[in-house]
Structure 1
């Protein structure tokens, strides 16, 4: 992969943005293309640039990270999004994934671990700080026992859901199934609507928990 993954940071702390920029600039395959100091600016730049990845702070004055995340998803921006925050609150973790986040990392992680998780997400995988894994799994396990949201999926939709749960990006799924990227996006929208879920990560976690 010679093409660099484009990244935008949204954080109201200039020193933290500077530190993350210096960290990411060590990696040839990653490219910081924009920074935003608040949610409103982040939303505007996300719609304009549609970077491959957005690093989004949760606790910002004004439009906070969760509201920004929801607005970005509502605008149809397909960028992968990692919440990069100090909050290990269960509700924050669950709400962010339900709203469409692809990762949730704590700022007190070792820099090299943050960088590794960022690279994982650019490759289509999900990323979460290790100590938060059980919080997310137990919270999302509850609705699984009530019903089978996947019952109405077509065989193709279930195949795509399985690949999403394996961490494959839309581009990889499209290539493997010999269909267009746009067709995969349409399938994903149908999958989420039928399952009553708000993000591909939520659907993926549901399938992983179901299979045990």
Structure 2
């Protein structure tokens, strides 16, 4: 089951998403956050698999929240869910570690399908903005990251390969016979050493440098 947290200041939107998520047995809404300034505390408390994050919120906007979450080592998949199709917002979201960018006019069935794809380590993007997102991601990933592979331990390389294979932290722990908490530590170190901000970027990196891993 995928544990999800919604971070959005609109109660009606949160209620609608909650009802939509209830249609799928594999999704479990563990918390809703209306005040983005409390987002980090709630996320650290529940450690969700997936976060749906609005951009335009009072007090602290979604980009600040996204950056705060990644800086704190949160490795949950994060999908920006917003009305903004502004290229600058899209680029900043990807640069700050978003795993996907969906517009709020998306069809409900496509929305649910996108969440499932994101949990399989696919990048999820609303139709019409794919080129902008891919351009942002390409700029986020340095061309010559491969020398950093030498700084990964053998265990970290194993974890990176399994991330690329779409495995969750729990599944990685089971395969390597280590605790899920230990896997989280390895994931954070891998991202830090490679200068990456999300598991999606790590998976892309692993595929591009498979021969070195």
Structure 2 counterpart of 1:151, from 145, 149, 152: 149
Q: Deviations over 1:31-79 (max 9, x none)?
A: 2232222311333322333333221101112201111122223334443
* 2:14 counterpart SS class: helix
SS at match of 2:52: strand
8 A contact 1:140–1:206 mirrored in 2: no
Moved more, 114-123 or 141-150: 141-150
SS of structure 1 residue aligned to 2:149? coil
Cα deviation, residue 184, structure 1: 2.2
Bigger shift: residues 71-80 or 34-43: 71-80
Instruction: State the alpha-carbon separation in 2 of the partners of residues 163 and 46 from structure 1.
Output: 24
Residues 1:54 and 2:51 are matched in the alignment? yes
Of the structure 1 ranges 40-49 and 11-20, higher mean CA displacement relative to structure 2 is found in 40-49
- Normalising by structure 1, what TM-score? 0.81
Tell whether the 8 Å contact from 2:101 to 2:124 is kept in structure 1 after alignment: yes
RMSD: 2.6
- The question of whether the paired residues in 2 share the 8 Å contact of 1:149 and 1:194 is answered with no
- Does residue 101 of structure 2 align to residue 104 of structure 1? yes
- The CA distance in 2 between the partners of 1:121 and 1:171, in whole Å, is 17
Judging changes above 3 Å, is the alpha-carbon distance between structure 1 residues 90 and 209 closer, same or farther for their aligned structure 2 residues? farther
Which of 110, 129, 132 matches 2:129? Answer: 132
- Return closer, same or farther for 1:149/1:66 CA change in 2, 3 Å cut-off: farther
Structure 1, gaps ≥5 residues long: none
1:104 positional shift: 1.9
- Residue 64 of structure 1: aligned partner: 61
Aligned residue number for residue 21 of structure 2: 24
Contact conserved, 1:9 with 1:55, CA < 8 A, in 2? yes
* 1:187–1:44 CA distance, 2 compared to 1 (3 A): closer
Runs (4+) of structure 1 exceeding 6 A deviation are none
Q: How many residues align?
A: 208
Residue deviations 1:150-192 (CA, integer Å, cap 9, x gap): 4323444333223323332222222223333233223222222
Structure 2 unaligned blocks of 5 or more: none
1:94 is aligned to 2:91: yes
